[in-house]
Chain A
Amino acid sequence: VSAPTSLGKVPGSEFVVLDVNLAESAQRRLAELGVRTGARVSVTQHTAGGGIVVSIGGSRIALDERTARGISVRASA
Chain B
Amino acid sequence: MSTDETTQVASCHSPAAGRAALAGSPVVALVGAPNVGKSTLFNALTGAHRDVGNWPGTSVEVGRGAWTPEGVDVEFDLVDLPGAYSLDPLSPDEALTRDLISAVPKNERPDIVVVVADAGRLARSLYMVVQLTELGERVAIALTMNDIAARRGVTIDPVALSQALGVAVVAVDPRRRTGLATLADMIVQTLALPAPAEPAARIEDDFTRADRQFGTVAAAVEHATTTTPDARRTWSDRIDRIALSPVLGPLSFLVVMWFVFQLTTSVAAPLQGMLDSFFTGPLSTAVTSLLGLIGLDDTWVRGLLVDGLIAGVGMLLSFIPLMAIMFMLLAVLEDSGYMARAAVVTDRLMRAIGLPGRAFLPLIVGFGCNVPAIAATRVLPDARHRLLTTLLVPFTSCTARLTVYVMIATIFFPSRAGSVVFAMYVISILFVVAVGLLLRKTLWRTMGNEPLILDLPPYQQPTLRLTATVTWLRLKGFLRTASGIIVATVIAVWFLQAIPMPGTGSFSDVPVQDSVYAAGASVVAPVFAPAGFGNWEAASALMVGFVAKEAVISSWSQTYATAEPTSPDTPGNLGAMVKEDFTVSSGGHPGAAAWAFLVFLLAYTPCVATLAAQRREIGSRWTAFGVGMQLTVAWLIAVAVFQIGSRLG
Residues of A within 8 A of B (CB): 22-26, 28-34, 36-37, 39, 44-51, 53, 57-64, 66-67
Beyond A29-B453, A67-B451, whether A47 also contacts B211 by CB under 8 A is no
Q: Which residues of B contact A24 (CB under 8 A)?
A: 207
Q: Of B120, B246, B455, B456, which contacts A46 at CB under 8 A?
A: B246
- Taking a contact as CB atoms under 8 Å apart, the answer to whether A47 and B345 are in contact is yes
- Taking a contact as CB atoms under 8 Å apart, the answer to whether B246 and A26 are in contact is no
- Taking a contact as CB atoms under 8 Å apart, the answer to whether B453 and A67 are in contact is yes
Nearest B residue to A44 via CB reads: B237
Nearest A residue to B85 via CB reads: A32
- Taking a contact as CB atoms under 8 Å apart, the answer to whether A53 and B451 are in contact is no
Q: Which residues of A contact B218 (CB under 8 A)?
A: 34, 36, 39
Beyond A33-B124, A44-B237, A45-B244, whether A61 also contacts B88 by CB under 8 A is no
Q: Which residues of A contact B86 (CB under 8 A)?
A: 28, 32
A-B contact pairs, 12 of them (CB 8 A): A28-B90, A33-B124, A36-B214, A45-B241, A46-B246, A48-B250, A53-B240, A57-B221, A60-B458, A62-B343, A64-B451, A67-B452
Bound complex: CA A60 to CA B243 (Å): 14
Question: B83 at interface (Cβ–Cβ under 8 A)?
Answer: no
Q: Which residues of B contact A36 (CB under 8 A)?
A: 211, 214, 218
Q: Of B123, B237, B240, which contacts A57 at CB under 8 A?
A: B123
- Taking a contact as CB atoms under 8 Å apart, the answer to whether B249 and A48 are in contact is yes
Q: Which residues of B contact A46 (CB under 8 A)?
A: 246
Question: B454 at interface (Cβ–Cβ under 8 A)?
Answer: yes
Bound complex: CA A37 to CA B250 (Å): 33
- Taking a contact as CB atoms under 8 Å apart, the answer to whether B340 and A58 are in contact is no
Question: B210 at interface (Cβ–Cβ under 8 A)?
Answer: yes
- Taking a contact as CB atoms under 8 Å apart, the answer to whether A23 and B240 are in contact is no
- Taking a contact as CB atoms under 8 Å apart, the answer to whether A33 and B123 are in contact is yes
Residues of B within 8 A of A (CB): 85-86, 88, 90, 120-121, 123-124, 127, 152-154, 207, 210-211, 214, 218, 221, 227, 230, 233, 236-237, 240-241, 244-247, 249-250, 340, 343-345, 347-349, 451-456, 458
- Taking a contact as CB atoms under 8 Å apart, the answer to whether B452 and A63 are in contact is yes
**CB of A48, distance to nearest CB on chain B (Å):** 5
Nearest A residue to B86 via CB reads: A32
Bound complex: CA A23 to CA B135 (Å): 26
Nearest B residue to A66 via CB reads: B451
- Taking a contact as CB atoms under 8 Å apart, the answer to whether B451 and A48 are in contact is no
- Taking a contact as CB atoms under 8 Å apart, the answer to whether B227 and A58 are in contact is yes
Q: Which residues of B contact A48 (CB under 8 A)?
A: 244-247, 249-250, 344-345, 348
Bound complex: CA A59 to CA B348 (Å): 23
Bound complex: CA A29 to CA B455 (Å): 10
Nearest B residue to A37 via CB reads: B211
Q: Of B127, B344, B455, which contacts A59 at CB under 8 A?
A: B455
- Taking a contact as CB atoms under 8 Å apart, the answer to whether A64 and B452 are in contact is yes
Bound complex: CA A30 to CA B127 (Å): 12
Nearest A residue to B448 via CB reads: A23
**CB of A36, distance to nearest CB on chain B (Å):** 6
Bound complex: CA A65 to CA B423 (Å): 35
Q: Which residues of A contact B249 (CB under 8 A)?
A: 47-48
Bound complex: CA A49 to CA B360 (Å): 15
The 6 lowest CB-CB distance pairs between A and B, nearest first, are A49-B348, A64-B452, A60-B456, A67-B451, A62-B344, A62-B454
Nearest B residue to A45 via CB reads: B244
- Taking a contact as CB atoms under 8 Å apart, the answer to whether A53 and B153 are in contact is no
Q: Which residues of B contact A51 (CB under 8 A)?
A: 344, 347-348, 452
Beyond A44-B240, A47-B249, whether A61 also contacts B211 by CB under 8 A is no
**CB of A62, distance to nearest CB on chain B (Å):** 4
Q: Which residues of B contact A25 (CB under 8 A)?
A: 90
Other A-B pairs beyond A33-B455, A48-B246, 10, CB < 8 Å: A26-B453, A32-B85, A45-B244, A45-B245, A47-B245, A48-B348, A57-B123, A62-B344, A63-B452, A64-B347
Q: Of B127, B349, B454, which contacts A61 at CB under 8 A?
A: B454
- Taking a contact as CB atoms under 8 Å apart, the answer to whether B453 and A58 are in contact is no
- Taking a contact as CB atoms under 8 Å apart, the answer to whether B123 and A34 are in contact is yes
Q: Of B210, B241, B244, B455, which contacts A31 at CB under 8 A?
A: B210
- Taking a contact as CB atoms under 8 Å apart, the answer to whether A47 and B214 are in contact is no
